[in-house]
Chain A
Amino acid sequence: MDIAPDRRAAREAARRRHARRGSVVAAVSSVVVLGGLAMLIVSSPGWEDVQRTFFSWEVFRDSFPDVLAGFWLDVKLFLVVEAVVLVLALGVALVRSTRAPALFPVRLMATVFTDVMRGVPVILVVYLIGFGVPALGIAPDWLVQDPIYLGGIALALCYTAYVAEVYRAGLDSVHPSQRAAALAVGLSETQAMRHVIVPQAVRRVVPPLLNDFISLQKDVALVAILGPQEAFRVAQISAASDFNFTPFLAAAMLYLMVTVPLARIVDRQQAKARRRQGHVVAT
């Protein structure tokens, strides 16, 4: 029975046909769906009005510089909060992961902290810290008078709780045999944590960490409720003064300019992590 070559050729031809048909279908359906959607929107009776109120080039051009200046504040706040969160969260995660009896009270505090902060809406924490702490009357002037500090602290608290849980999952995912191996070569518990477990845990949680940072990048806009004129607030002011929503579009574009590249980095990291895991399994 020597029909294999024919079979192979036929199979390959079928595969090619299938692939070709797949790309044709994809192209046609894209054109039909997207084109149809665009046609439907543009030909709708309200389109002109929507265009004027949401997509006005003039308003966009006029409001963009102010919104951009506000966005710069968002970016700075984001970067500082992110750095603080990365360090603090690791501390909280390590405290929650230790078994030392002496640390029980700290561990309890860390547990309560993460439970509360994760369960409460970010906006509420921003309000509470932003208006509540100054109301106590014990905070120093520099803190009271700068909403960026207060808002930053509120965001850092919330995201420290989220990120600590991500770290903790990462620490838990490192197999106990790694700890055993580290101890067996003569490292102390602390050295094992520092040189063996934490580096592996951090590597594994990079994709979920980036996800949290994408949401942080958007949540910095919540600090607006404390008064500073960041991008969203500037857009709101501008929109309120001439009854046109285009400035929001400008703000949204700026947020996307940061979050979309971040999202692509997440994708790439996740793919890399999958490849690496696959490789490890294969050996």
Chain B
Amino acid sequence: MPKIRRSILAVVLAAFATVALVACGDDDETASPTTETTALACEKADLALVTPGTLTVATDSPAFPPYVIDDDPTSGKGFESAVAYAIAEELGFTAEEVTWIRVPFNSTFAPGPKKFDFDLNQVSIKAERQKGADFSSPYYTTPQGVLVAGDSEFAGATTLTDLKDAQIGVQVGTTSLDAVNEVIAPGKQVRVFNDSNDVVRALKNGQVDAIVTDLPTTLYLRDAVVEGSTLVGQFEAPGGDDWGAVLEKDSELTPCVTAAVDSLRDSGELASITEQWIGAEAPVLALE
């Protein structure tokens, strides 16, 4: 009888320990973009393409502004459309040599052969996604966005200092809380909610003056969730998501796209594209 009891106890404790182990083990691997620095043979003629002579780029259907304007990626209008053509140009393709296809978000980074050369679809670079697909170096790191009610006294804020007296709400477990505390350092203790529903509810109810989420979420909330709200701006904060172009696992093209993105970043062109399409939506807020 005592023997049985002890083994039951052992099993229970083992289960307990295992859960703790698994829960912790997962978080150790940090997401890092694939950076293989082999000698680059990125001559246009040598590239292994899905369709020779044509660069096949994928995005979601439908695609939304400000990433793609009017669901027409071929126009070059919209952030990801513009980034795609800039990468193409870096690789030596003309606009006419770029073909667009549509791929649903979830199958972009699913393991297996791809029908595209690369995909731009706001895909965050994450360790588990890298098991099934390649990522270029990041072309975008999400900043934080500030959303207020249209009739709020803070709707006209142009600097972070203007937001110091605002009652700000965020969702627990996101990077937004640290971002707000470190960058804005508001006078009123930030309200922390369980999920984005509650955050939005609080904003709609006037229980908070402003909510802070990563900018893509802020854009979504403004356009689809909180009617009549105003996105007063964005600000840089550590811990944002990195978005990378998705390629087939171990694709020869990956280092070339990474090199192209790096080159765009170094030349400042990436920054100006970002400013043109996303900055127009959400002006960059600074401290005064």
Direct contact between A and B judged by beta carbons closer than 8 A? yes
Binding site for B on A (CB under 8 A): 36-37, 40-41, 44-47, 49-50, 52-54, 131, 134-135, 141, 144-145, 147, 224-229, 233, 236-237, 240-241, 243
**A10, chain B: closest CB distance, angstroms:** 35
The reply to whether B17 and A46 contact each other, CB–CB distance below 8 Å, is yes
Say which residue of B24, B191, B192, B194 sits within 8 Å of A53 (CB atoms).
Answer: B24
What 10 pairs between A and B have smallest CB-CB spacing?
Answer: A46-B17, A227-B191, A134-B205, A240-B173, A243-B27, A49-B21, A50-B20, A131-B201, A53-B24, A46-B21
On chain B, the residues within 8 Å of A229 by CB distance are 189-192
Whether B206 lies near A52 (C-beta < 8 A) is no
Chain B proximity of A69: nearest CB distance (Å):
10
Question: Within the complex, which residue of A37, A134, A147, A237 is in contact with B177, where a contact is CB–CB below 8 Å?
Answer: A237
Q: A135-B201, A237-B192 are in contact. Are A45 and B24 (CB under 8 A)?
A: no
Q: Do B193 and A46 touch across chains, with their CB atoms under 8 A apart? A: no
- Set B9, B10, B20, B169: member contacting A49, Cβ < 8 A: B20
Interface string of B199-231 (1 = CB under 8 A from A): 001101111100000000000000000000000
Which of A36, A50, A52 has the most C-beta atoms of chain B within 10 angstroms of its own C-beta?
A50
Tell yes or no: B172 within 8 A of A by CB.
yes
| Distance (whole angstroms) from the CB of B73 to the closest CB of chain A | 37
Point out the residues of chain B lying under 8 angstroms from A228, CB to CB: 189, 191
In angstroms, how far is the closest chain B Cβ from the Cβ of A142? 12
Chain A residues contacting B6 (CB-CB under 8 Å) are 36, 40
- The answer to whether B9 and A40 touch across the interface, beta carbons within 8 angstroms, is yes
A237 and B205 CA atoms in complex are apart in Å by: 24
Asked whether B14 lies within 8 Å of A241 as measured between CB atoms, the reply is no
Whether A52 pairs with B190 at a CB distance below 8 angstroms is no
Assess the B192–A50 pair: CB atoms within 8 A.
Answer: no
* A37→B207 contact, CB < 8 A: no
Shortest CB-to-CB span from A205 to chain B, Å, is 35
Q: Tell whether, in the assembled complex, residue B172 and residue A240 are in contact, meaning their CB atoms are under 8 Å apart.
A: yes
